[in-house]
Structure formats: structure tokens, C-alpha cells
Amino acid sequence: MTVRATRSPCAAIEARSQNHAGSLERDLLAVNDLMSPFFAAGFYYKTFMWPAAFWEKLYEPMIRRAAGLGTLSGLPDPDAYGRGYLHPDLLVIGGGAAGLAAALAAPRA
């Protein structure tokens, strides 16, 4: 049986809403849904590079809040792990044609 956390209360999970501004009933970020036909796919962040002083104090926090990245608790991880690996056997950077080709060729190497 599948239980959707978004529809059913879960006692073991502390969840908070994200990706909204204002109340959930009157979400100010919903304007993005209305304007989506006019936005190109992707995000051109260099639009927000001027003035430079605004990036760190205004633009970046605003974009991160809208993206719904969430927050960390700051508490230590309560789980125990038998081993930890700091070095991958293979790291593919990039999702373009070359990155995809490298990821597909890696098991055959």
C-alpha cells in the first residue's frame, strides 16, 4: 500500500511546505505559473548579476527560497554507517552528449 505524505499525515516525519511566498491559499509565486508561456526553458542567472552587490544579499537568497531547497536541521546524523567512501570509482560531469556517452561507455571499460 502506498501512502502519499502529501495527502496523509505521517507521525515520523516533520514536514513543512516550501516553494511558496505568503500563505498557501494566496501563493504569490503562483504568478510564475501564469507567466510560464513567456519564460524560456532553463534559467539565465546572469540577468541578475547587476548590480553586483544585489546578488549575494537579494537575488541569490530570493532564487534559493523560490526553488524550495529546504533547510537542514543542523543536528548530527543519527544513523550509523559501516563504511564511508570519499572517492568515487567514476565521476561523470555533465549531462550533455559527451557526459551521456561517457556514462554509457563506463561499464564496458
Residue boundaries of the structural domains of the chain: 16-70
The HSE-up count of residue 51 (CA atoms within 13 Å, CB side) is: 3
Q: Tally the residues of the chain.
A: 109
- Please give the chain's pLDDT, 109 residues, in tens: 555 556 666 667 666 677 777 787 888 888 877 877 877 666 666 677 778 788 878 877 877 777 776 666 788 888 888 888 788 888 888 888 898 899 899 988 7
CB 32, CB 25: distance < 8 Å: no
Express each pLDDT in 5-33 by its tens digit.
566 666 676 666 777 777 878 888 888 77
20 HSE (CA, 13 A, CB side)? 9
Q: How far is the C-alpha of 78 from the C-alpha of 91, rounded, in Å?
A: 28
Tell me whether the omega of the peptide bond preceding residue 51 falls within 30 degrees of 0, making it cis.
yes
The residue to which cell 565521476 is assigned: 91
**Structural contact between residues 64 and 19, judged by C-beta atoms closer than 8 angstroms:** no
Q: Is 74 left (phi over 0), alpha (psi -120 to 50) or beta?
A: left
Residue bearing cell 511558496: 20
